[in-house]
Amino acid sequence: MRFKLKGLTVAALALTLGLSAAGCGDSDSGGGDDKEITIGMVSGWAEGEAATALWKRLLTDKGYKVDVKTLDTGPLYAGMSKGDVDLFLDSWLPGTHEDYWKQYGDKLEKVGAWYDAAPLTIAVPDYSPLQSLEDLKGKGKTYDGKIVGIEKSSGLYRVSQEKMLPAYGLQDEYKVTTSSTAAMLTELKKAIDAKQDIVVTLWRPHWAYAKYPIRDLKDPKGAMGKPDTIYTVAREGFGKDQPDVAGWLKKFKMDDKQLGTLEDLMENEFKGNPDAAVDKWLKTNQSYATSLTS
C-alpha cells in the first residue's frame, strides 16, 4: 500500500510539474492562451450578482470558460489572495471592505471602479414614523431590540453594529441581527405586507428600493460612513496574465438605470435564472455591452 501511494504521489507530482511548466509558458507569453477565469460572488448581493452574470456572458461570448464560485466575503478575499479566485466584481472600498483590504490587499490588484457613490444605509418602510437614526433612541421595545441585518461577514454588519449603534447610543437597546441577505429581504417584505414596524440594514444600489415602499433613515452623525466606490478587484498578476480581460473591465461602468433594470430582471422576473435575465436585458442594452469588449 505504501508503494502504491508513493507511485501515485510520483505520478501526481509529474502531472503537477507538467501543468506548472505549461502554466509558466502561458505566463511568459502574457497569459493570452489561458481562457479559464474564476469569478467569486457573494450570494444575495444583487449588484454583484448582476455584474457577475453580465460578465460571465460577455466573457463566454469571447470564448472564455467562466466558473462562478459563490462564497462568503472573507473566504472570497482569502481565495483571491491565494490565487484560487481570479476576479471579484463587488469590492466596496475604501470603507465597507476595509478590513479585508488591510488583510489581503497586498496580494490583490484593483482592476477598475464601475459604480460611484454606493452608500450603506439603514432603511424603514415609508409608513414608519422614524425619520432619523436619532429617532431610534428609547424605542427598542417597539422593534424587539433588533435591526435586521445580513451576513455577519459583511462590512455592512460591522459598520452597523460596531459604529452606528455606539454613535447614537443605541448599543444597549438594539442588536443588529445576522442571517443572510435573502432572509433580511424576506422579513422586510413580510413586515411591509402586514404594515408592521421594521428596521433593516441595506445599501444602494439595490433593487429593493424600486420594489418596496422604503426609504433611508437620515444619518446626521455620518456613522454609516461615506459612500463607497464599487471596484472590480483581482488576484495578484491578473492584469499581466489576462491583459485583454483587464482592459475590458477597466472600461466597465454602470449607471443606476442599467444596473437597476438588470437587478430587477434577475431578482424578480427571472429569479434563479440569471442567464435568462441577461438575455432579456441585452435586447435593450446590446450596444453598451458590445462597447465593453471591443
Domain for residue 7, yes or no? no
Indicate the residue among 164, 188, 217 that finishes a domain. 217
In a domain, 12, yes or no: no
Stated as kind and residue range, the H or E segment containing 284 is helix 274-292
Q: Which residues constitute the domain of residue 179? A: 120-217
Quick: pLDDT tens for 36-52: 999 999 988 999 999 99
- Asked if residue 256 belongs to a domain, the reply is yes
Q: What is the mean pLDDT of residues 240-255?
A: 97
Per-residue pLDDT tens over the stretch 276-293: 999 999 999 999 999 999
The CATH number given to whatever domain includes residue 97 is 3.40.190.10
Count: domains in the chain: 2
| DSSP 8-state code for residue 217 | P
Q: How many residues are listed for the chain in this entry?
A: 294
Q: In terms of domains, do 125 and 213 share one?
A: yes
Same domain, 94 and 232: yes
Residue 11 lies in a domain: no
- Yes or no: say if 81 and 238 are a contact pair by the CB < 8 Å rule: no
3-state secondary structure of 171: coil
pTM for this structure?
0.76
171 shares a domain with 113 = no
- Name the 3-class secondary structure at 27: helix
Instruction: For residues 114 and 124, state if they share a domain.
Output: no
pLDDT band with cut points at 50, 70 and 90 for residue 58 = very high
Residue 50 DSSP SS3 = helix
Angle between helical axes of 274-292 and 243-251 (0-180°, round to 10): 90
Question: What is the distance between the alpha carbons of residues 131 and 26, in angstroms, rounded to a whole number?
Answer: 57
Residue 260 confidence (pLDDT): 87
Residue 20, pLDDT > 60, answer no
Is residue 44 in a domain? yes
Per-residue model confidence (pLDDT) at position 33: 52
Q: Does residue 8 lie within any of the structural domains?
A: no
CA distance 32 to 268: 38
Q: Is the pLDDT of residue 19 over 80?
A: no
Do 108 and 237 fall into the same domain? yes
Contact 201, 120 (CB under 8 A): yes
In tens, the pLDDT along 79-127 reads 999 999 999 999 999 999 999 999 999 999 999 999 998 999 999 999 9
Q: How confident is the model at residue 10 (pLDDT cuts 50, 70, 90)?
A: very low
pLDDT digit string, tens, across residues 197-243: 999 999 998 988 888 999 999 999 999 999 999 999 999 999 999 99
Residues 253, 134 share a domain: no
Query: Does the pLDDT value for residue 9 go beyond 60?
Result: no
- Of the candidates 181, 185, 118, which has an alpha carbon nearest to the alpha carbon of residue 151? 181
Phi/psi of residue 175, each to 5°?
-135, 140
Q: Are residues 112 and 47 in the same domain?
A: yes
pLDDT higher for 253 or 260?
A: 253
